Amino acid sequence: MSSAKIPKITNQEIEAFEQDGVVCLRGLFEDVWLERLRSAVDWNMTNPGPIATNLTQGGRLHLDVFMWTRNSDFRAFVFESPVAAIAAQILKAEKVHFLFDHLLVKEPGYIKPILWHNDHPDWPLQGWNMCSLWVALDPVTKETGGVQYIKGSHQWRKWLRQKDALAEAVAHSASLELLSWNMAPGDCLVHHALTIHASSGNASTSTRRRALVTRWAGDGVTYDPRPDTFITHINKIGVKEVNSIHRLHAGDSIDCDLFPQLWPRA
């Protein structure tokens, strides 16, 4: 059991998440966590995992996933910080499973946008109660590549991938309301797995944009090993936890070592 203080998410914040598909929660993570994560990010950028992505276009983009299986600081954040308790409150869940962590570093000058999409299509899961917690490790503005969301778009229940031309067309429809926030380090966005979102590159010449995203499933989520999800390249991460997912069948609950249940805490 962790000694981390558990922040109370208000009913208003939970309602904003349910209605808008995203909410910005302020100042939830103490500096000690942020410092620990920034050091872990530095480590990860010089020791990327087997399915990390590094692109250089102007500046550098560094993406990695499942760092918790290889690094004790990322693991401590997931298992011991308040993230699981926050996800449980937002999803009003009796229990939550951790899905994976996802690091997105946009260095100054990186120009390529992340196009409109939502997250669920890439996950080998079925169910409604899934969200991501996007934690800012730097000050974030639209200029440095902050995320923008289409308000209420989770309610459309559409799956959109970045490659779908439809996603761009939909996002540019004049009648839609976009949501975005300037953020301080330690602020956190929580978005539903079906909320459509995008971000620009990092136009700053000096400010980094490091974000750690953790992805969560609440009640009623089941396994759905569709071939067009991350399940197709999961073996490449080469860690023992992966074996556990291969014992699941379509429709099973997601109790396995790769998706540990972290709320309630053991």
Dihedral in degrees, nearest 10, Cα atoms 37, 38, 40, 45: 140
Return the ∠ at Cα 189 (arms to 56 and 27), rounded to 5°.
110
Residues 6+ apart with CB under 8 A from 109: 58, 59, 201, 202, 203, 204, 205
Distance of alpha carbon 190 from alpha carbon 13, whole angstroms: 10
Does residue 114 touch ligand AKG according to CB under 6 A? yes
Does residue 134 touch ligand AKG according to CB under 6 A? yes
Binding-site string for ligand AKG from residue 137 to residue 156, where x marks contact by CB under 6 A and - marks none: --------x-x---------
- Whether 171 and 142 have beta carbons less than 8 Å apart is answered as no
Does residue 214 touch ligand AKG according to CB under 6 A? no
Does residue 41 touch ligand AKG according to CB under 6 A? no
Nearest distance from C-beta of residue 114 to ligand AKG, angstroms: 5
Interhelix angle 83-90/72-80, nearest 10 degrees: 40
Residue closest to 216 by CA, chosen among 99, 106, 56, 122: 99
Q: Which is nearer to ligand AKG, 148 or 155 (CB)?
A: 148
Does residue 199 touch ligand AKG according to CB under 6 A? yes
Q: Which is nearer to ligand AKG, 93 or 211 (CB)?
A: 211
Does residue 197 touch ligand AKG according to CB under 6 A? yes
Does residue 22 touch ligand AKG according to CB under 6 A? no
Distance of alpha carbon 110 from alpha carbon 107, whole angstroms: 6
222 token code pair:
């089941």
Does residue 110 touch ligand AKG according to CB under 6 A? no
Nearest distance from C-beta of residue 8 to ligand AKG, angstroms: 24
Q: Which is nearer to ligand AKG, 201 or 248 (CB)?
A: 201
Q: Which of 9, 61, 179, 211 binds ligand AKG (CB under 6 A)?
A: 211
| Amino acid (1-letter code) at residue 65 | V
* Range 47-106, binding ligand AKG (CB under 6 A): 104
Binding residues for ligand AKG, per CB under 6 A? 104, 114, 119, 132, 134, 145, 147, 197, 199, 211, 213
